[in-house]
Amino acid sequence: MGSLVSNLTKVVLLGRRKPEGNAYEIAVERLGSAIRLGLFRVGDRLPAERDLAAYIGVSRATLREAIRLLSDQGTLDARRGRSGGTFVMATPDPLTISEVQDMFAARNTTLREILDQRKVIEVGVAELAAIRATPSQIAHLKSMLPRFAEFRSVTVEYRRLDTEFHLMIGEAADSPRLQELLAECHRDLSEMMSTVPHSSEIRGHSTVQHAEIVRALTTRDPAAVRAAMSEHVAATSSFLIGLLGDPVVPSTSVALNSTGN
């Protein structure tokens, strides 16, 4: 089944701003991230080359090189002919902690900065969604809740569903500029979450929080939505800092196996 996230969100996530640095590496990174997030699923056909290059902000020649690398790795398959195109064949392996740290260093940012940005952006976006969400958008979010329980023991699927859930709230806020910032937060967050162990118990707690957020959205109560999303974001931040260490106070003693997973 294809992703429930709209084409607009795909554009926002891939093209959050004009690339800085090596365009080829950025194209590979953004395509890989979009697939890891579940915006493009196995079997999906990517947008046309011209459109995809414009979304990411690179030349078509650079995009072809990125697609060639991901094809060599078995992630994509570029086919020619009337029914041709570029198709997703597999999900890329998660980045290692070292690779994520190198990526953040290249962007001149830290875990703390990313979590701070998410706290400010996501809570405000959720509050706007309580006011602006359409009935169909709220119904859609409600329909996602049983799937969280269904995939509680399936880490990869749960993460993809979680990202879809949060980006759908971003769409419901009806603010393209904030949606772009929210997508940026979740792209970085997803890379971090893929490096750490998770337990079914943690996912179960997150599912309860998702239900609280939807309940508050349903009652159109901005204060309740803000409180529910604040609690959810704080829990994720504490989890990540506890495992990866607080960059403000460097730590080399964090043991990833301490969660008992």
For 136-194, write each residue's pLDDT tens digit.
999 999 999 999 989 888 877 888 899 889 999 999 999 988 988 898 888 888 878 87
Provide the pLDDT for residue 259: 38
pTM: 0.79
Residue 20 CB: number of other CB atoms within 10 A?
A: 11
List the chain domain ranges. Answer: 7-88, 97-259
| Each residue's pLDDT tens digit, 20-49 | 668 898 889 888 888 887 788 889 999 889
Question: What's the pLDDT tens digit per position in 59-84?
Answer: 999 999 999 999 999 999 998 877 78
| Residue 257 predicted with pLDDT over 80 | no
What pLDDT is attached to residue 249?
39
Instruction: Say which residue, 195 or 30, is predicted with more confidence.
Output: 30
- Chain centroid to CA 53: how far? 20
Domain 7-88 - what CATH class? mainly alpha
What is the band of 200 on the pLDDT scale with cuts at 50, 70, 90?
A: confident
Average per-residue pLDDT in the chain?
84
96 burial type by CB count under 10 A (0-12 exposed, 13-18 middle, 19+ buried):
exposed
Residue environment code for 202-239, b if the CB has 16+ CB neighbours within 10 A, otherwise e: bbeebbebbebbbebbbeebbebbbbbbeebbeebbeb
- For 75-84, 103-112, 124-133, 240-249, which range has the lowest pLDDT when averaged over its residues? 240-249
Distance (Å, whole) CA 227 – CA 235:
12
Average pLDDT over residues 82-102: 83
The CATH homologous superfamily for domain 97-259 is GntR ligand-binding domain-like (1.20.120.530)
